[in-house]
Structure 1
């Protein structure tokens, strides 16, 4: 579904991602892991059009994404959440999800300005669908609450609901469990499985919670200092000397 070839991103003299090759199969849950500063979020930013690669190729369902703006990437069927939650804090939960739906509504400028029947009909439809997405992530009772007043875990779920409202084929989650308590993390795990199974969704996540990663991921890629140092199934990654060294240092490998 997603094929990354020789992907590189340089910022001046700093190489954040270097010659990375990754393939993501449809219907899978895949994790991108690595220590802080490994280039994981930069990698996501290139896939979603936030950054243009210095070199390399990003193919999604046999179409190149290189050079596309974020909104164009979203229309292709790729949605994401962010490491630092990006919600419209003064808007309600329902309104935040409706923002994610607007790329599918095709309003004309005239119908929007004059609130013509076509506009009103599509807005009503969007409201109903947005509420359904809130139900899906368990936030329907908070539909009228301002996003900025929600708990941290609820904000994470709201961001996922907004991403789902774009009707993606692949969902990129950037540290979705960050700041969550154990119950919220368990609920998130169940939600990720549910999204994959119910929606035929491909999920790729960046995550530092190794318990979550090893439990939920079918395949992992490991980055360190911008380079891919390992890939494989959870059991293979857990015992990989390069991965142990990247996280714990050379002494940990020697001890092991």
Structure 2
């Protein structure tokens, strides 16, 4: 069963074709990767799936429902969450508050309830904080709970972004270059974490990544983009030896 189905999706910026009628499926419960050289269209693909951009053509189905034209917050409400290539945390807010913000869509108290400090609001707040502390413990972020996000080490900021995404209770988690800037040890820990997230939270994971060792170790299927076109799709073993993939990364002479 597919949780995400992309059919003939294209996006153009002026004269630049960022994505050229891409077809792609993501199976429920899988760990799937999107790879390709810089400028291949990977982040554009994520932005189309999450509602940041609207495609010029094609269809995007999440859990059987079209998400084309929906705002990013509505896409998130359906169960699709993401992290970003360039970390986007609330720098001056604490670790707890960064994650708590992501839970706002699941809270029902209005402004009047908050001003009057109603019992319903207090119960919701306690429940939300309990869930946030649970996520922070799971991700090993307890030592930094009250620390402003801007003071965190880089690898910990990446984990905080994941915690914030998990707070929305997603079905599909999109990770945009989660290993960027990490040390080899941090990358190994991230690989283990992604597997645990999939299993423990019953998630489907879709990631963009340049670290080919991580991709080949963790992915069950891979799509390769080059100049906005999907040039290959398959298992890590199939992708590793695919002539078009080798050419895209190393040039025509490498294939010859």
Please confirm whether the aligned pair reaches a TM-score higher than 0.5, indicating the same fold: yes
CA RMSD of aligned residues (A): 0.8
Structure 2 partner of 1:85 = 87
Partner of 1:139: 141
TM normalised by structure 2 equals: 0.98
TM-aligned CA deviation for residue 52 of structure 1: 0.5
Distance 1:85 1:113 in 2: 33
For 1:74, the equivalent position in structure 2 comes to: 76
Q: Does 1:105 align with 2:144?
A: no
**For structure 1, which segment, 107-116 or 183-192, has the greater mean C-alpha deviation from structure 2 after superposition?**
107-116
Spell out, residue by residue over 1:26-60, the C-alpha distance to the aligned partner (whole angstroms, 9 max, x if none): 00000000000000000000000000001100001
Q: Which runs of 5+ in 2 are unaligned?
A: none
> What's 1:5 paired with?
7
1:1-256 mapped onto 2 (5 Å cutoff): 1-254=3-256
In structure 2, distance between residues paired with 1:205 and 1:190: 14
TM-score by length of 1: 0.98
Q: How far apart are the structure 1 equivalents of 2:25 and 2:208?
A: 15
**Cα distance in 1 between the residues matched to 2:142 and 2:191:** 19
Q: Distance in 2 between matches of 1:145 and 1:115?
A: 27
Partners of 2:14 and 2:121 lie apart in 1 by: 47
- State the Cα distance separating 1:181 from its structure 2 match: 0.5
Shift of 1:252: 0.9
Distance 1:102 1:156 in 2: 21
Structure 1 runs of 4+ aligned residues shifted over 4 Å read none
Q: Deviations over 1:33-88 (max 9, x none)?
A: 00000000000000000000011000011100000000000000000000000000
Q: Secondary structure at the match of 1:84?
A: coil
Unaligned ranges ≥5, structure 1: none
For 1:44 and 1:60, locate their aligned partners in 2 and report how far apart those are by CA, in whole Å.
Answer: 13
Aligned residue pair count: 254
**SS state at 2:199 partner:** helix
**What is the alpha-carbon distance in structure 2 between the residues aligned to residue 127 and residue 214 of structure 1?**
37
SS of the counterpart of 2:103?
Answer: helix
